[in-house]
Amino acid sequence: MLGSGGNYYSPQLSTDFLELPQSQEELRMFYQWFYDNHPVVGQAIDLRTEMLLSKVRLKRPAAKNKAMADAAMRFCERWADRIKLLDRLMVVTHEMSLFGDCYAFIEDTTPDMPPDVVGEEVLVPDSQTGDLRKVWNQRPDAKEREVAWLKKNYKGWTTIRTLPADRVNMEAYPHTDLRTFDLMPDDRAKELVEKADNGDERARQVVATMSPDVVDFVRSGQPIPLNTDPYAGSFVAYLSRRRTDYQLRGASVLQRCLRDLVFEDKIRQAQTSIASRHMTPYRIVWGENMSQAQVDDLRDQVDLALQDPDYSIVTNFEVHWEERGGGQENRLLELTSEHDRIDRHLYAGLGVTESLLSGEASYSGDRINLEVINWRDMLRREQLCNFVDFQILEPMCARMGFVEEDEDGNLQTVFPRLSFTRIGIRDHQEVFDALFNLYQKGSLDVETIYDVLGLDGDAIKTRVKHDLFTVNDPTFNELPRAIYGAVAQKIAESSDLSDRIAASLGITMKPGPDPSMSRFASKKSKRAVRDAQLASFVDALDHKLSVLVEGVVTAALARQQAPAPAVSPV
Q: Give residue 539's pLDDT.
A: 67
Q: Where are the beta strands (DSSP E) in 362-506?
A: 403-405, 411-413, 417-420
d(CA 388, CA 380): 13
Residue 239: what are its φ and ψ, rounded to 5°? -120, 140
> How high is the pLDDT of residue 4?
52
Torsions phi, psi for 274 (to 5 deg) = -65, -45
Residue 535 has pLDDT above 70, yes or no: no
Q: What pLDDT digit, counting tens, does each position of 406-432 carry?
A: 888 888 999 999 987 655 555 566 777
State pLDDT tens for residues 98-112: 999 999 999 988 777
What is the tens place of the pLDDT at every residue in 55-78? 678 888 888 888 999 999 999 999
pLDDT band at 2 (very low <50, low <70, confident <90, very high): low
Q: What is the pLDDT of residues 492-514, one digit of tens each?
A: 777 877 777 777 777 777 766 55
Percent of the chain with pLDDT over 70: 81
How distant is the alpha carbon of residue 164 from its chain centre? 23
pLDDT over 90 at 560, yes or no: no
> Among the residues of 326-427, which ranges form H helices?
336-350, 354-358, 367-388, 394-400
**Residue 396: count of CB within 10 angstroms of its CB:** 24
163-193: per-residue pLDDT in tens?
A: 998 889 998 888 888 889 999 988 888 899 9
Higher pLDDT, 454 or 466: 466
Range from 30-39, 117-126, 240-249, 281-290 that averages highest in pLDDT? 30-39
Q: What's the pLDDT tens digit per position in 215-249?
A: 888 888 889 999 999 998 899 999 988 767 777 88
pLDDT of residue 533 exceeding 80, the answer is no
Give the pLDDT score at 435: 80
Our CA angle for 225, 230, 233, nearest 5°, is: 65
pLDDT, residue 569, reads 46
Per-residue pLDDT of 361-410, as tens digits, reads 555 556 666 777 777 777 888 889 999 999 999 999 998 889 998 888 88
Asked if the model's pLDDT at residue 532 lies above 90, the reply is: no
The pairing of beta strand 179-183 with beta strand 132-138: unpaired
Q: Sort strands 224-226 and 179-183 into parallel, antiparallel or unpaired.
A: antiparallel
Q: Which helix (H) or strand (E) holds 543?
A: helix 521-561
Residue ranges per domain, the chain?
Answer: 282-324, 427-467
Residue 262: name the closest of 27, 492, 435, 557 by CA.
27
pLDDT computed for residue 564 by the predictor: 46
Helix axes 39-52, 85-99, angle to 10 degrees: 140
